[in-house]
Amino acid sequence: MWGVLIFWRRGVMVSLVATFVEKAQLVFIVIICSNQNYQT
């Protein structure tokens, strides 16, 4: 029982980290684009 619970929590953490990384990449791309627009 505990093994299943730990495995489930690990899966939830992995999914949260994956969504956070995807959003961070989008924000990073937006910041780079805005910086390039400011430089020109």
What is the mean pLDDT of the segment spanning 7-20? 91
Instruction: Characterize 1-39 residue by residue with b for buried, 16 or more Cβ atoms within 10 angstroms of its Cβ, and e for exposed.
Output: eeeeeeeeeeeeeeeeeeeeeeeeeeeeeeeeeeeeeee
Distances (CA, A) of 8 to 14, 31, 32, 33: 10, 35, 36, 38
Model confidence pLDDT, tens digit, residues 15-33: 999 999 999 999 999 999 9
Per-residue confidence (pLDDT) for residue 36, from 0 to 100: 84
Distance separating alpha carbons of residues 38 and 32, to the nearest angstrom:
10
Judged against a pLDDT cut of 90, whether residue 40 lies above it is answered with no
Pick the more confident residue, 21 or 6.
21
**Token pair 């684009």: residue:** 33
